[in-house]
Amino acid sequence: MTADQANPETGPEARTPYGAVRGRYEHGVAVFRGIPYAAPPFGPRRFRPPRPPEPWDGVRDAGAFGPTAPKPPYSEAFAQYLSDPDIPGDDCLNLNVWTPAPDPGARLPVLVWLHGGALTRGSSAVPVYDGYGFARDGVVFVSVNYRLGVEGYGLFPDAPPNPGLRDQLAALQWVHDAIGAFGGDPDRITLCGQSAGAISVGALLAAPAARGLIRRAVLQSGPPEASDRDKVRRMVRRMAMRLKIPATAEAFAAVDRDLLLRTQAEVGRLGSPVLGGPAFGIVVDGDLVPRDPLKTLIDGESARGVDLLMGWTRDEYRLWLVPGGLMEHVDRLGPVALAGAMARCHTGHEVPRGYRALHPDAGAAEIVGQMVTDHLLRVPLHRLADARPGACHLYEFAWPSRLPGLGACHALELGFVFDSGDTPASKRLAGEGAPHTLCEAMHGAWVRFATTGDPGWQAWDATHPVRIFGDGEPRTAYGPRDTEVALWSTTSTAPPPDPAAEIRAPGAEWAAAVRRLRRSVGARRR
Q: What confidence tens digit (pLDDT) does each residue in 31-44 have?
A: 999 999 999 999 99
What pLDDT shows up at residue 519? 55
What pLDDT shows up at residue 494? 41
Q: Is the predicted pLDDT of residue 4 greater than 50, yes or no?
A: no
Higher pLDDT, 98 or 276: 98
227 carries an active-site annotation: no
7 contact partners, CB below 8 Å, separation of at least 6: none
Question: Closest by alpha carbon to 263, among 239, 241, 246?
Answer: 239
Which residue out of 195, 200, 302, 420 is catalytically annotated?
195
195 carries an active-site annotation: yes
**pLDDT tens across 209-254, in order?**
999 999 999 999 999 999 999 999 999 999 999 999 999 999 999 9
Phi, psi of 12 (to 5 degrees): -70, 150
277: confidence class by pLDDT, cuts 50, 70, 90 = confident
401 carries an active-site annotation: no
Q: Are 188 and 109 in contact (CB under 8 A)?
A: yes
CA pair distance 140, 108, nearest whole angstrom? 7
Which residue out of 26, 151, 225, 316 is catalytically annotated?
316
What is the SS3 assignment for 96? Answer: strand
Question: Closest by alpha carbon to 303, among 162, 166, 204, 223?
Answer: 204
Average pLDDT (339-361) is 93
What pLDDT shows up at residue 182? 98
Give the helix, strand, coil percentages of the chain, each rounded to 5: 40, 15, 45
Which residue out of 115, 176, 346, 410 is catalytically annotated?
410
Alpha carbon separation from 248 to 147, 160, 241 (Å, rounded) = 18, 11, 12
**pLDDT tens across 488-505, in order?**
986 544 433 332 222 233
Q: How high is the mean pLDDT of the chain?
A: 92
7: confidence class by pLDDT, cuts 50, 70, 90 = low
Predicted structure pTM score: 0.93
Average pLDDT (47-75) is 97
Q: Is the predicted pLDDT of residue 428 greater than 60, yes or no?
A: yes
What pLDDT shows up at residue 275? 74
Average pLDDT (192-204) is 98
What pLDDT shows up at residue 57? 97
